[in-house]
Chain A
Amino acid sequence: DTGVSQNPRHKITKRGQNVTFRCDPISEHNRLYWYRQTLGQGPEFLTYFQNEAQLEKSRLLSDRFSAERPKGSFSTLEIQRTEQGDSAMYLCASSPPRGTPYEQYFGPGTRLTVT
């Protein structure tokens, strides 16, 4: 399967703990995105990488959130000191280099439950 993969698929953690999610984009895609989705809402943009450079961050990405893409391939999203409001589906997407109109390809998501 050459699609976007995300691990883990599910994570249950206690409030105050740190969690880290991983995203592996499609291999030739140099752009990678993180979104968050809560129940009944559409996905909300969190941050975007082009290669290893983080080019945009949403105001939703508080200081407790950090994302990295050190070698321009896989990316990690870490949440420190989790809160119950962080419970959501975290989605990763990738897309090819800009040129013609392009689509984003989404992974299956990581569902986080903070108890």
Chain B
Amino acid sequence: DAKTTQPTSMDCAEGRAANLPCNHSTISGNEYVYWYRQIHSQGPQYIIHGLKNNETNEMASLIITEDRKSSTLILPHATLRDTAVYYCIVRDSNRDDKIIFGKGTRLHILP
């Protein structure tokens, strides 16, 4: 079973920051937080991952709370092309090879 809890859906206005929350209260010390997204009719796409520190790349920022029990994915300036299902996953990638996906958050970017 997925170890994360995410809202089913969210709306965000185009040009604004999209903040997608994820709860992972049972995360263990060796598990990373990964985010993937899936645009309609495409395969999932890796976005970002982190262990304890906040991370930023060209796609997004990942903010992980100090106790690591929750995190937020931030898309700083959402565009219509960011409309997708976003999956938050916790995984010890040094031990687990497969990804266990939940249902994710369906993000709608509104024009």
Contacts and interface: CB of A to CB of B under 8 A. Distances in A.
B35 to A, nearest CB: 10
The majority secondary structure among interface residues of chain B is loop
Interface in A44-100: 44-45, 48, 55-56, 58, 91, 93, 98
A43 B99 CA distance: 9
A108 B87 CA distance: 17
Interface centre among A33, A41, A42, A91 (most CB of B within 10 A): A42
A101 B46 contact: no
A31 interface: yes
Interface centre among B32, B44, B49 (most CB of A within 10 A): B44
A48 B97 contact: yes
Interface of A: 4, 31, 33, 35, 40-45, 48, 55-56, 58, 91, 93, 98, 101-109
9 contacts: A31-B97, A41-B103, A42-B101, A42-B104, A44-B101, A98-B94, A101-B94, A105-B46, A108-B43
